[in-house]
Amino acid sequence: MTEPIIVQKKPHVLELDAGSYYWCACGRSKNPPFCDGSHQGTGLEPIHFELSEPTKVWLCGCKHSARPPFCDGAHKRL
């Protein structure tokens, strides 16, 4: 399996509307932090998550979080 690319060593802090989202796990998306299909052939897959109401989120930008799609502080050790 291909290693993910570190997009940034900090989270993407976003105010998202309620809805269904696919977080990019591979780091190759041209629309980070969301999947745009660029993971094809890497063996990596996006992580799906849903929000039931408008929510402020801290989405992992380093792709090394142990609880994706959310930042768990792992970027501080990279």
List contacts with ligand FES (CB under 6 A). Answer: 10-11, 24-26, 28-29, 35-39, 44, 46, 60-62, 64-65, 71-75
Residue 44 vs 57, nearer CB to ligand FES: 44
Shortest reach from residue 56's CB to ligand FES, in Å? 15
Those residues with Cβ within 8 angstroms of residue 26's Cβ, 6 or more apart along the chain or in another chain: 2, 4, 5, 38, 39, 42, 44, 46, 63
Residue 52 vs 67, nearer CB to ligand FES: 67
